Chain A
Amino acid sequence: QTVVTQEPSLTVSPGGTVTLTCASSTGAVTNDYYPNWFQQKPGQTPRALIYSTINKHSWTPARFSGSLLGGKAALTLSGVQPEDEAEYYCLLNYGGWVFGGGTKLTVL
């Protein structure tokens, strides 16, 4: 069974920079896994942020960026805002799709 692993929790100060990662149990994550990133705030529907590793949706704030980093997919938030406090999920394609377990980002 394929497992996608994310940091369970991270804390960042307002204005700071934080990188969330997404690892695959099958090995290095590449562009062929079409990494997606989503943000979900309590009681809300998930919101898409990044698709196909680096691409932003029209509504994605400029401070969010996607990349590959050390064999993992990565989501970097630069100049973190208080409203960025949320759960973040990555999604990888293996034929079917597998979500990571989520990273709870605290802005403190």
Chain B
Amino acid sequence: EVQLVESGGGLVQPGGSLRLSCAVSGFTFSNYWMSWVRQAPGKGLEWVADIKPDGSQKYYVDSVKGRFTVSRDNAKNSLYLQMNSLRAEDTAVYYCVKKFDYWGQGTLVTVSS
């Protein structure tokens, strides 16, 4: 059974940092592109970042470039999202997604003073 479990969300002040993690199981993690997708409260879905299976290529939505960094550890079956210089508009549920077929349950990030 494919499972993706996010962690690391919480309340952070504007300008602060958080690191999200996603632990996966049930598939060969090192074979797949992985993504982060977010959803602000009451809003639609927004793609945030992609990472190639070997981690050699990464893509970001313009609004997070230079602030967020996606990474992975294939030995630990884990995906990460380092989020720096957080803004109120980054408040959202962040989903870890396998090649857009399987989704985690999400972790809530709230940026507020």
Interface residue tally on B, bucketed by range: 10 to 19
Which of A36, A45, A89, A95 has the most B CB atoms < 10 Å from its CB? A45
CB within 8 Å for A101 and B44 given contacts A96-B60, A96-B61: yes
Contact with B along A47-85 (1 / 0, CB 8 A): 110010000010000000000000000000000000000
Closest to A34 in B: B100
CB contacts under 8 Å to A, within B7-65, are 35, 37, 44-47, 50, 59-62
Closest to A58 in B: B101
Q: Say yes or no for B95: interface residue by CB 8 A criterion.
A: yes
Closest to B106 in A: A45
Q: Say yes or no for A15: interface residue by CB 8 A criterion.
A: no
CB distance from A75 to the nearest CB of B (A): 15
CB<8 Å pairs between A and B, sample of 15:
A45-B104, A45-B106, A46-B37, A46-B45, A48-B100, A48-B103, A51-B101, A57-B101, A89-B45, A91-B47, A91-B100, A95-B59, A99-B37, A100-B44, A102-B44
CB contacts under 8 Å to A, within B75-97, are 95
Contacts of A98 in B (CB 8 A): 47
Contacts of A95 in B (CB 8 A): 59
In the assembled complex, the Cα of A57 lies from the Cα of B2 at a distance in Å of 14
Question: Interface of A with B (CB < 8 Å)?
Answer: 1, 36, 38, 40, 45-48, 51, 57, 87, 89, 91, 95-102
Contacts of A46 in B (CB 8 A): 37, 45, 95, 103
CB within 8 Å for A45 and B105 given contacts A91-B47, A99-B47: yes
Closest to B35 in A: A97
Closest to B45 in A: A99
CB distance from A80 to the nearest CB of B (A): 22
